[in-house]
Amino acid sequence: MSINNSILKLLNMKDKNLNFTENFVEERNIKNKRSLVIKAFLDKKPNCCPKCGCIDNIKKNGTVILKPIKILSISGLNSYLEITKQLHKCNNCKHKITPQTDEVNYRCRISNNTKHSITMYAKETITYKFISKLHNVSDKTVQRQVNKIYDKDKLYKNYIPINICIDEFTWKKKTMAFNICDAENGKTLDLVEDRTIENLNKYLSYYLNENKLKVENVVMDMYKPYIKLVQENFPNANIIILTLTVKMRNPLFYIGFLIF
């Protein structure tokens, strides 16, 4: 196996048109964080001109270096792929041809492997905020990626505790967000930025119905839209309305009363 193929295998990439030079790893400070940059050269000569169909009159026409693309972290460091592309030009119609790679979508700065990893982590009982930190992306990027996959493939979350708490809080000092956590140990299961009922119904639809039917108690404050939300999504659960919340070391201790 050649060194180039070994590097592709190490990065879990398949495009053999990506070539790595001798000094392909560089350490840089990106966004005030120590990061690794993997430098690759993409040389993919087209079979014909996509505009006029010319075959024999395509020549090289310089190179272009793309902005670093986010890939999965290496040894705990944020990592990027910096691709230098070999450009071509059709001398027959003057059309300029830029090669593309399957490792990242056109005009995207996040690798497809990273998106796939985000999707896999989203199935676990961890927050989107943690996933975003783990993959060096924003919370909204995680939300968009998860929405795409859920809408397309119906990829469901497979766990929810039998006793849960729901609440809302100020998010980034400018909007309200939705919080769902385990009532027995106080650990956050997820944070949802958009707390509209339509969005929350969509979010809760990602949990398997068989698991939602097992939920026994939902602790919450007296917010009428949330009562209806719970009744529709957790039909077998008792709703406990909080009158006083006391934060102890572990877990949170609630004083409330059962309404139905």
Say if residues 86 and 44 touch (Cβ distance below 8 Å): yes
pLDDT at 260: 54
The token pair at 124 is: 């676990």
b (16+ CB within 10 A) / e for 208-233: eeebbeebebbbbeeeeebbebbeeb
CA atoms within 13 A on the CB side of 199: 11
The kind and range of the H/E element at 79 are strand 77-90
Which residue type is seen at 258? L
Output the CATH code of domain 163-258. 3.30.420
The residues of the chain that CATH labels 3.30.420 are: 163-258
For the chain, the maximum distance between any two Cα atoms, rounded to a whole number of angstroms, is: 81
Note down pLDDT in tens along the chain; length 260 residues: 588 999 999 999 999 999 998 889 999 999 999 999 999 999 888 888 888 888 888 999 999 999 999 999 999 999 999 999 999 999 999 999 999 999 999 889 999 999 888 888 876 657 778 888 999 998 888 888 877 765 544 445 678 899 999 988 776 666 778 888 888 888 888 888 777 888 888 888 888 888 899 999 999 887 888 889 999 999 999 998 876 544 444 444 454 555 55
